[in-house]
Every structure is written in structure tokens, then in C-alpha cells.
């Protein structure tokens, strides 16, 4: 497994990376602005389903939304730096992040971006991620398999949604989904409909009929990689080949389909690419000693 | 050494047996689940594959990292989360956020790609494409545009059935008004005064020039301060 070199410090660095990503994400997200939209437009998801409509209407104010964002930011900072009771801060951050993400999904389409990062953050709250690099008193780092097992648990939780996606695709459509015009249809529709990017490179690709089979082959290849996602950390070679498929996929998808999973790119780096370098790093250190 | 030991007379399936069952079901799925098995068969196979895949992944993780008792709690926590993610997949509703179903790019598509475009009329008489997904940074990623499309589809359905759609139209007008007001705050020199909602149909092989456009709704905007 690629996590044999996991240590308390490395798990703590992962904690800092994940909460750091949330910090940037929240800081750049002006959720308070959406108070300009009518409350009647809001379709509750997750915890908001439990909130009576009248209560929601009474809370529909930019200051309330800003307060939610600032509370989430505060809890993320506390979990990141590891003050007293860091696990409690992490659980609070998880709850507030769920409220923020559930809120912004109430205005139309409930997308999946950020969700694998959210699941990894949920899990982090139950891992020994505060055994090093804490502002407060850290627990004494142990010299056993708990850190490697923690990385493996994170890889499982990150990889399982990919598996679920591929299983749905294969069980409901079979091979046919890779044989027809489906991929071209998705590229055309999403390039034109998802309007947060102002370019249409996907349509330029569709002007070249010879690329059709290549697009279908790429779709099938990514589906195989998605099926393998919860297992690839078990062997360094599997992880390297998997990264060679998934990183280009997540880079190309926004260019030709306007579908951006930026958080997953960061997770691919911290959960797979970075651990693949540990052997070389530790070997170099031993040689210097 | 790492294969499960029998518990109370029950012996859990071996890793090899789990992997073989997964591979067999994947092969059946790839070939296409026979329609004679009933409409629910794909969903049943999906659930079985998720259970087997999850069990296999956990087993592999357990075998790879259970060198001491302290390795177990992280994997137990992961198992609980996998169960919740799997339950969300089975529940198949986005109301179960954050445990929503993963169905992206999961259904085959034939025929034309259809979507809505928004054409803005400015006070100067200029016409530009209005991009609702860029007005509120929070609502990119298709959040607002897909919400608008769902509402427009609903209005079209209601009207096709001869049912009143005034309430949906009013809400759509209010949301577009709020989006335009926000846009106009940053573009006061030439604000929007109306938005045309255009239904676009693009037939295969999806050449941009072949798109058919039809204005389905014109939304005059109130002048807001």
C-alpha cells in the first residue's frame, strides 16, 4: 500500500491541506449575496428539509447568511490550527460546512462538487489528525499503523463515490452508453448550458467527426478508472496509472464540458500523488543521515 | 492468514469470491441486463454491486493496514461513511444531501441536446447573451441555470396540459429580475431592460451552426434603483 510511510506529521499536513481548502473556498464564496433571490425559489435539501418554511423566511437575510459563513470559517480555522478540543471544532466545522453546502444547493441544481471533500472532512474528525502540528497540546504521536490506516480510510471514502457513479452507469445502460452519441450529447449540452465559462472548446471538438470514437473510448476508460477508485492505493503502480487517467480527466472536463471538480484535483494530489513520493523522500533522508 | 475466520458457524465469503461475484455482475451489466428480468433489475444489480464493491474495498483496506488494534477505528469510521453514501445511492433523492445519488453522465442520450439560452436587451438597444450562472459566484456549477431550466420545463408542461402556470411564471420573472438587478449594479452604463428566454435544440452530430432557436418567453424588467 502507498501509505506505509504515513506518520502523525503527514496526517496533520493532510488535515491542514483539507481545512485550508475549505478556508479558501469559504472566503471566496459570497453566499450572503443570494439573499436577493426570493425565498420561494429555495428548494430545501438535507438539513433544510427539517426547517419550517416560516422559519426559513424569517431567517432570509444577507446578515444571517454572512453569519453562517463566518461561523463556518471560524470553526474551520480552529480545526486547521488545532487548538484545545480540536475534534469538537472539526465536528462543528463539519456541521456548519454541511449547512453552507446544503444552502447553496437549494437554488436549482444540487451538484456534487465539494462532496467528496466533505466526506473526507467528516472522516478526518474521527482520525488521529491532531497528533502533530497543533497550536494546542497535541496527543503524543504513536509509532504504529494508525496513520497508514487513516490514509487508507480516507482513500476508501474518497474513492467510493466514483465506484457508485460507474456502477450506476454500467447497470442502467451497459455497453451501449459508450457506443452511441451519448458523450457528444453531454459535451454539446453542458458546453452550451453551463454558462459560468465563456468558451466553447467542446463544440470545436464535435466539429471533428474522427474524434467521436476517441471521446467514447475516453468515457469508457474513465468509467474503468472510477470502478477501480477504492482499490488503487493498495499498489503504487495502480495508483500511478490511476492518476494518469484521473488527473487529465479532471483537467479536460472543465475545458470541454464546463464541469469543474477542482477539490477532487487537490484530493488526488494529497491522497495519491504526494504519498507516492514518500518512499523517495524517506530514502533520501536516511541516506543523508 | 488474512481471510476471515468463521464466526458462530458462519464463514464470510473470501476476497476472491467477492471479487469474482463483482466481476460476474459487471460483465452481465456491460452486456446489458435483460429487460425480461423486469424494470427494477438494474437497480437491484446496482445495489448488490455496491454492497459487494464496498465489502471488497473494506476487506482489502483491512488486510492492507490492520497490523495493530489501533488500525481498526479509522476503517470502522470509513465503513460507516460508505454505508451512508451507499444508502444515499439507494434512496435516490437529492433531498438526502449530502448523501445524494451519484448518477452523473449515467444515462444514454440519443436525439437532440436541448437547453435554454438567455438573450438580454440593453437600454442602448444592444443584444447580448445573458449568463445567469455568472451573476452570483455562489450559484455557478449549473446551480442557477439548471434551476431556471427546470422551472421553464415545468411551465411548458403545465401549459401543454392546459393548467395554469401563472405562479411559476411570476416566480421565474422575480428571479430573473433579481439576477438582472444584480447585473445592472455592475453595468449601470447600459443596463438590461428585458430578457428573452430562448429554447435551443441542437441535433446530432451537434454542429453549433445547426442549432434551432425559439423565443419561449420575454421578461420585461422593472427599472430598479
Question: Among the ranges A41-50, A140-149, A279-288, B216-225, which has the highest mean pLDDT value?
Answer: A41-50
Q: Cβ of B42 and A189 within 8 Å?
A: no
Q: Which residues of B touch A182 (CB under 8 A)?
A: 105, 108-110
Q: Cβ of B143 and A109 within 8 Å?
A: yes
- Angstrom distance (rounded) from CA A16 to CA B130: 39
- Angstrom distance (rounded) from CA B39 to CA B45: 11
Quick check: A276 and A238 in contact, CB under 8 A? Answer: no
Share of chain A above pLDDT 70, in %: 98
pLDDT value for B10:
61
Task: Say whether pLDDT at B69 is over 80.
Answer: no
Each residue's pLDDT tens digit, A63-117 = 999 999 999 999 999 999 998 889 999 999 999 999 999 999 999 999 999 999 9
pLDDT value for B225:
43
pLDDT value for B222:
66
pLDDT value for B142:
87
Each residue's pLDDT tens digit, A105-149 = 999 999 999 999 999 999 999 999 999 989 876 667 676 789 999
Half-sphere exposure in the Cβ direction for B118 (13 Å, CA)? 29
- Work out the pLDDT band at B9, boundaries 50, 70, 90: low
Alpha helices in chain A (DSSP H): 8-27, 53-58, 62-81, 86-104, 115-124, 146-173, 182-193, 201-206, 212-228, 236-257, 262-268, 274-276, 278-288
Convert A200-214 into a string of H (helix), E (strand) and C (coil): CHHHHHHCCHHHHHH
Task: Say whether pLDDT at A259 is over 60.
Answer: yes
ipTM over 0.90: yes
Could you tell me the three cell numbers for A15? 488535515
Instruction: Please give the average per-residue pLDDT across A4-17, as a whole number.
Output: 95
Looking at the complex, does the CB of residue A91 fall below 8 Å from at least one CB of chain B?
Answer: no
pLDDT value for A286:
75
Task: Say whether pLDDT at B4 is over 60.
Answer: no
Task: Say whether pLDDT at B224 is over 60.
Answer: no
Query: Does residue B98 have a cis peptide bond before it, meaning omega lies within 30 degrees of 0?
Result: yes
Q: Would you tell me which residues 174-193 of chain A have a C-beta closer than 8 angstroms to some C-beta of chain B?
A: 174-177, 180-182, 184-190, 192-193
Q: What is the mean pLDDT of chain A?
A: 93
CA distance B125 to chain A (A): 22
Q: Cβ of B108 and A173 within 8 Å?
A: yes
Q: Which of B33, B84, B88, B98 to mutate to test the interface with A (most CBs of A within 10 A)?
A: B98
- Angstrom distance (rounded) from CA B29 to CA A171: 5
pLDDT value for B158:
96
pLDDT value for B7:
54
Does A285 or B130 have the greater pLDDT score? B130
8-state DSSP, B101: -
Mean pLDDT lowest among A186-190, B28-32, B94-98: B28-32
pLDDT value for B37:
80
Cα torsion at B149, B152, B158, B160 (round to 10°)? -100
Q: C-alpha angle A189/A194/A199, rounded to 5°? A: 90
Amino acid at each position: 500500500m502507498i501509505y506505509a510511510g504515513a506518520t502523525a506529521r503527514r496526517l496533520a499536513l493532510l488535515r491542514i491541506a483539507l481545512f485550508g481548502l475549505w478556508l479558501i473556498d469559504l472566503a471566496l464564496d459570497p453566499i450572503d449575496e443570494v439573499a436577493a433571490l426570493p425565498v420561494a425559489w429555495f428548494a430545501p435539501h438535507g438539513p433544510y428539509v427539517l426547517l419550517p418554511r416560516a422559519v426559513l423566511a424569517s431567517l432570509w437575510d444577507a446578515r444571517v447568511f454572512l453569519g453562517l459563513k463566518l461561523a463556518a470559517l471560524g470553526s474551520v480555522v480552529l480545526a486547521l490550527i488545532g487548538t484545545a478540543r480540536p475534534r469538537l471544532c472539526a465536528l462543528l466545522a463539519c456541521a456548519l460546512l454541511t449547512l453552507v453546502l446544503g444552502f447553496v444547493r437549494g437554488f436549482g441544481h444540487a451538484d456534487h462538487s465539494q462532496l467528496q471533500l466533505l466526506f473526507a472532512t467528516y472522516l478526518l474528525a474521527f482520525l488521529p489528525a491532531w497528533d502533530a502540528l497543533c497550536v494546542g497540546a497535541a496527543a503524543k504521536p504513536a509509532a504504529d499503523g494508525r496513520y497508514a490506516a487513516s490514509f487508507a480510510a480516507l482513500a476508501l471514502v474518497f474513492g467510493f463515490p466514483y465506484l457508485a457513479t460507474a456502477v450506476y452507469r454500467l447497470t442502467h445502460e451497459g455497453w451501449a452508453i459508450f457506443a452511441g452519441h451519448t458523450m457528444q450529447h453531454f459535451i454539446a449540452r453542458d458546453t452550451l448550458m453551463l454558462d459560468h465559462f465563456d468558451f466553447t472548446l467542446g463544440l470545436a471538438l464535435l466539429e471533428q467527426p474522427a474524434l467521436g470514437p476517441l471521446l467514447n473510448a475516453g468515457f469508457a476508460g474513465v468509467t474503468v478508472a472510477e470502478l477501480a477508485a477504492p482499490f488503487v492505493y493498495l499498489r503504487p503502480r495502480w495508483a500511478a496509472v490511476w492518476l494518469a487517467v484521473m488527473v487529465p480527466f479532471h483537467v479536460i472536463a472543465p475545458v470541454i464540458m464546463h464541469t469543474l471538480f477542482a477539490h477532487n484535483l487537490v484530493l488526488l494530489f494529497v491522497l495519491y500523488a504526494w504519498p507516492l513520493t514518500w518512499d523517495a523522500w524517506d530514502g533520501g533522508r536516511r541516506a543523508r543521515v | 492468514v488474512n481471510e476471515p475466520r468463521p464466526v458462530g458457524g458462519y464463514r464470510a465469503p473470501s476476497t476472491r469470491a467477492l471479487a469474482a461475484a463483482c466481476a460476474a455482475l459487471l460483465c452481465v451489466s456491460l452486456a446489458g441486463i435483460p429487460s425480461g428480468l423486469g424494470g427494477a433489475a438494474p437497480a437491484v444489480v446496482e445495489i448488490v454491486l455496491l454492497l459487494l464493491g464496498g465489502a471488497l474495498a473494506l476487506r482489502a483496506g483491512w488486510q492492507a493496514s490492520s497490523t495493530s488494534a489501533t488500525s481498526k477505528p479509522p476503517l470502522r469510521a470509513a465503513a460507516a461513511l460508505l454505508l451512508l453514501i451507499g444508502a444515499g445511492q439507494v434512496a435516490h433523492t437529492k433531498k438526502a444531501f449530502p448523501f445524494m445519488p451519484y448518477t452523473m453522465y449515467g444515462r444514454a442520450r440519443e436525439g437532440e441536446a436541448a437547453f435554454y439560452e438567455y438573450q438580454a436587451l440593453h437600454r442602448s438597444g444592444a443584444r447580448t447573451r445573458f449568463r445567469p450562472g455568472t451573476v452570483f459566484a455562489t450559484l455557478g456549477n449549473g446551480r442557477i441555470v439548471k434551476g431556471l431550466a427546470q422551472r421553464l420545463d415545468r411551465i411548458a408542461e403545465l401549459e401543454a396540459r392546459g393548467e395554469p402556470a401563472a405562479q411559476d411564471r411570476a416566480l421565474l420573472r422575480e428571479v430573473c429580475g433579481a439576477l438582472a438587478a444584480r447585473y445592472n449594479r455592475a453595468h449601470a452604463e447600459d443596463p438590461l431592460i428585458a430578457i428573452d428566454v430562448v429554447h435551443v435544440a441542437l441535433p446530432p452530430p451537434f454542429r453549433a451552426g445547426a442549432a434551432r432557436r425559439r423565443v419561449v418567453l420575454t421578461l420585461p424588467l422593472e427599472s430598479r434603483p
